[in-house]
Amino acid sequence: MQHYNMNLTLKVWRQRSNKVKGHFESFQVKNISSEMSFLEMFDVLNEQLVAEGKDPIAFDHDCREGICGMCSMYINGRAHGPWTQNTTCQLHMREYKDGDTIVVEPWRAESFPVIRDLVVDRSAFDRIIGAGGYVSVNTGNAVDANSLPIEKQKADEAFAAASCIGCGACVAACPNASAMLFVSAKIAHLALLPQGEPERKNRAVNMIQQMDTEGFGSCTNIGACEAECPKGISLENIARLNREYVGAIFSGSNNG
């Protein structure tokens, strides 16, 4: 890999809190190495701002390994930027060349209010999980793990659905700000496993109800979520969710 340095123009969304209006602000950054990660480039910019006595740009991040789901930038019109199946923190600067302009915004969705700059509140996702995204098993009651063999293919499919990192890119990418991909991934993960079977119907109904309560939009099968999902969560999960939901409604969930 040939390394090079570049100068860039950044247009970044600034918003001090959710009580005030936001705006774009432009910055110049110099000598950015192609080996840096996108967030390291932001670190450089923030150091520069601190040195100039200005407020650094607030952004969420933690693991910087593409697994915690905390980073969340909307880069040149795409959730998590241009690379497929990738998080913001794993995007690297070799994608860009000298002189480029990069526009960076927060996730935009009513259910994800802005906290500051690029930081949004995604606690709605936690409440959706709380509505049914679990198996009701208290600590200490489990039987031997190998007493219930699970077909490898099913286990692998459940794993693929379970690899969702709860980042919210699917919502940000969706013109309707729907959370269907996120919700369907959890429902599929648990529906595919025998452990999830007993609560299957209630789970689908309750999670969808919570999703509506949180104000997420409805799904009209656009597919932008799948295209931007960093973990390759597939639209098939949404189809499965619809089957689960319809099944639950028709057979009557014991949800009262």
Positions touching ligand FES (CB under 6 A) are 61-64, 66-71, 87-89
Site for other proteins contains 21 (CB under 8 A): no
**Window 139 to 178, contacts with ligand SF4 (CB under 6 A):** 164-170
Please report, for residues 18, 121, 156, 222, the alpha-carbon distance to residue 115 in angstroms, rounded to integers and kept in the order given.
6, 6, 37, 28
Q: Residue 141, exposed/middle/buried by CB under 10 A (0-12, 13-18, 19+)?
A: exposed
- The structure tokens 């700000």 sit at 177
Residues that contact other proteins, how many (by CB under 8 A):
80
The interface mask with other proteins, positions 151-180, x = CB under 8 A, is: xx--xx-xx--xx-xx--------------
Dist. CA 50–CA 54, nearest whole Å: 5
Among 8, 70, 160, 185, binds ligand SF4 (CB under 6 A): 185
Query: What values do phi and psi take at 57, rounded to 5?
Result: -85, 130
CB of 104 to ligand SF4, least distance (A): 18
Dist. CA 195–CA 178, nearest whole Å: 28
CB of 127 to ligand FES, least distance (A): 21
Angle at 175 between CA 103 and CA 25, to 5 degrees: 20
Q: Identify whether the C-beta of residue 161 lies closer than 8 Å to the C-beta of residue 233.
A: yes
CB of 49 to other proteins, least distance (A): 8
* Strand bridging mode 101-105 / 5-14: parallel
Q: Among the candidate windows 20-28, 176-184, 192-200, 211-219, which touches other proteins by CB under 8 A?
A: 192-200
- The structure tokens 């959370």 sit at 179
In sequence order, what DSSP letters do the residues of 70-97 get, joined into one string? ----EETTEET-SSTT--GGG-BGGG--
The interface mask with other proteins, positions 102-121, x = CB under 8 A, is: -------------xx--x-x
Q: Which residues on adjacent β-strands are paired with residue 217?
A: 178
Site for other proteins contains 140 (CB under 8 A): yes
CB of 102 to other proteins, least distance (A): 17
Nearer to ligand SF4, 12 or 185 (CB): 185
**Window 61 to 80, contacts with other proteins (CB under 8 A):** 61-70
Site for other proteins contains 135 (CB under 8 A): yes
Site for ligand SF4 contains 183 (CB under 6 A): no
Nearer to ligand FES, 66 or 132 (CB): 66
